Amino acid sequence: MAASDFSRLIAAAADTIAAHAGELTALDQAIGDGDHGLNMKRGFEAVRAEADAFAAKPLPEALKAVGTKLVMTVGGASGPLFGTLFMALGKELPPAPDRNGLAAALGKAIEAVAARGKSQVGQKTMLDVLQPVYEALAQGKTASEIADAADKAAEATVPMKALRGRASFLGERSIGHMDAGARSTALLVRAVAEAIEGI
């Protein structure tokens, strides 16, 4: 991937998080501690500020640098979770991945996020979006189909009962609200999918 393309992906991710920060915070206020939008925005703006330096690195190193920056700047539990996603992707991806390589790396990265959060699919978390995205990717779906699968998966967290994270303190009362981490994951998937389609 050319450095300018990686910079474009970072910009797309940071743009969508900035544009939806209010919505993410509102989702988190309903069933969490209400800082998700602000935290994610701070993290992705910090990544944007160093986008060119990151983009100059080989792809695996660039992704690891993004992950480390998110860990250090997002805060909350989201920092380590999103940070681990990018760090693990960087660790697992070959320098010039094809679709199969990307799918395999995402599968490993999902395992790393699940281990970090001591969570699994079905507990109303970002994993509930990542897993269908992985499946769509592995099945050869188009970028726009993958983005749609992510949105649908985020919507599907609404009727779920939270079993991990701050929302799990609410038990049954977490039902009826979309998980903020699932929503931000879907936003990132769409931004990256649309940017990749344009490359």
Partner 1 sequence: MSNVGIVIVSHSPLVAEGTADMVRQMVGDEVPLAWCGGNGHGGLGTSVEAIMGAIDKAWSEAGVAILVDLGGAETNSEMAVEMIGEPRSHRIIVCNAPIVEGAVMAATESSGGASLKEVVATAHELSPS
Please report, as ranges, the residues that interact with partner 1 according to CB under 8 A.
Answer: 33, 35, 39, 42, 68, 71-72, 75-77, 79-81, 83-84, 116-117, 164-166
Q: Measured from the CB of residue 83, what is the shortest distance to partner 1 in angstroms? A: 7
Of the two residues 20 and 166, which places its CB atom closer to partner 1 in the complex? 166
Of the two residues 7 and 84, which places its CB atom closer to partner 1 in the complex? 84
Q: How far is the CB of 39 from partner 1 (least distance, A)?
A: 8
CA dist 48 and 66 (Å) reads 9
CB of 123 to partner 1, least distance (A): 13
> Which of 42, 57 has the CB closer to partner 1?
42
CB closer to partner 1, 150 vs 162: 162
Nearer to partner 1, 29 or 68 (CB): 68
114, 164 in Cβ contact below 8 A? no
Yes or no: say if 94 and 101 are a contact pair by the CB < 8 Å rule: yes
Min dist. Cβ of residue 6 to partner 1 (A): 23
CB of 147 to partner 1, least distance (A): 28
First to last CA, the chain: 9
Please state, in angstroms and rounded to a whole number, the distance separating the CA atoms of residues 156 and 190.
16
Helices (H), the chain: 3-19, 21-31, 36-49, 51-55, 59-74, 78-92, 99-117, 127-138, 143-155, 180-197
For residue 193, CA distances in Å to 34, 54, 80, 93 come to 28, 20, 23, 17
Q: Of 82 and 134, which has the nearer Cβ to partner 1?
A: 82
Alpha-carbon distance 160 to 157, whole Å? 5
Q: CB of 163: closest distance to partner 1 in angstroms?
A: 12
